[in-house]
Amino acid sequence: MPGTSSAEEREKDGRPFTRADLHAAIMSGAVERVRPKMMTVAAIMAGLLPIMWSHGTGSEVMQRIAVPMIGGMVSSTLLTLIVIPAIYAVVKGFSLRSPQQGKVIPQQVAEVV
Cβ within 8 Å of residue 24, ≥6 positions away: 3, 6
Sequence letter at residue 82: I
Q: Name the band, by pLDDT with cuts 50, 70 and 90, for residue 71.
A: very high
Sequence letter at residue 73: M
| pLDDT value of residue 101 | 47
CB atoms within 10 A of CB 2: 10
List Cα–Cα distances, 101 to 30, 96, 105, in angstroms: 31, 12, 9
pLDDT digits (tens, 9 = 90+) for 8-63: 777 778 788 888 888 888 999 888 999 999 999 999 999 999 998 888 888 889 98
Q: Is the whole model's pTM more than 0.75, yes or no?
A: no
